[in-house]
Chains A and B, each alone.
Chain A
Amino acid sequence: MPFITRNPILRETAHTLAPTTLLYALYVQFHGDYGPGGGFQAGVIFSVGLILYALTYGLERAQAVLSRRTAEVLSAFGVLLYALTGVAAMLRGAAFLDYSALAQQPLSGQHIGIMAIELGVGVTIVGVVMLIFYLLTDTGEAG
Chain B
Amino acid sequence: MSGQLLGCALLTLSAVAAVIIARTDNLFSAALLAGMSSLLVAALFLSLDAPDVAFTEAAVGAGVSTIFFLTTIAATGRQYAYAPSRRVPGLVLAAATGWLLFYSMLDFPWLGDASLALHDHVARYYIEHSAAEVGPPNVVTSVLASYRGLDTLGEVCVIFAAGVGVMIVLGRFGHSGRAGQSSRRGEE
Residues of A within 8 A of B (CB): 2-3, 28, 32-38, 40-41, 44-45, 47-48, 51, 68, 72, 75-76, 78-79, 82-83, 86, 96-97, 99, 106-107, 110-111, 113-114, 117-118, 120-121, 124-125, 127-129, 131-143
Contact = CB atoms under 8 A, between A and B. Distances in A.
A97 B150 contact: yes
Nearest to A100: B133
Contacts of B76: 143
A40 B140 CA distance: 13
A54 to B, nearest CB: 10
A38 B140 CA distance: 10
A131 B170 CA distance: 11
Interface of B: 51-52, 54-56, 59-60, 63-64, 67-68, 71-72, 74-76, 133-138, 140-142, 144-146, 149-150, 152-153, 156-157, 159-160, 162-164, 166-167, 170-171, 173-176
Given A48-B63, A133-B68, A142 B173 contact: yes
Contacts, number: 156
B59 A132 contact: no
Give chain B's interface secondary structure class.
helix
B71 A137 contact: yes
B160 A38 contact: no
Contact of B138 (A34, A75, A133, A135): A34
A97 B142 CA distance: 13
Contacts of B167: 72, 131, 135
A79 B154 CA distance: 9
B70 to A, nearest CB: 9
B149 A117 contact: yes
Contacts of B166: 131-132, 135
Nearest to B72: A136
Contact of A114 (B136, B156, B173): B136
Contact of A107 (B56, B68, B135): B135
A139 B75 CA distance: 7
B56 A51 contact: no
B55 A37 contact: yes
A33 B137 contact: yes
Contact of B140 (A3, A36, A68): A36
Contacts of A44: 56, 59-60, 63-64
Contacts of B159: 124-125, 128
B135 A135 contact: no
Given A33-B138, A142-B174, A41 B56 contact: yes
Nearest to B136: A33
Contacts of B64: 44, 47-48, 51, 129
Given A114-B141, A117-B152, A142-B174, A136 B135 contact: no
Contacts of B175: 138, 141-142
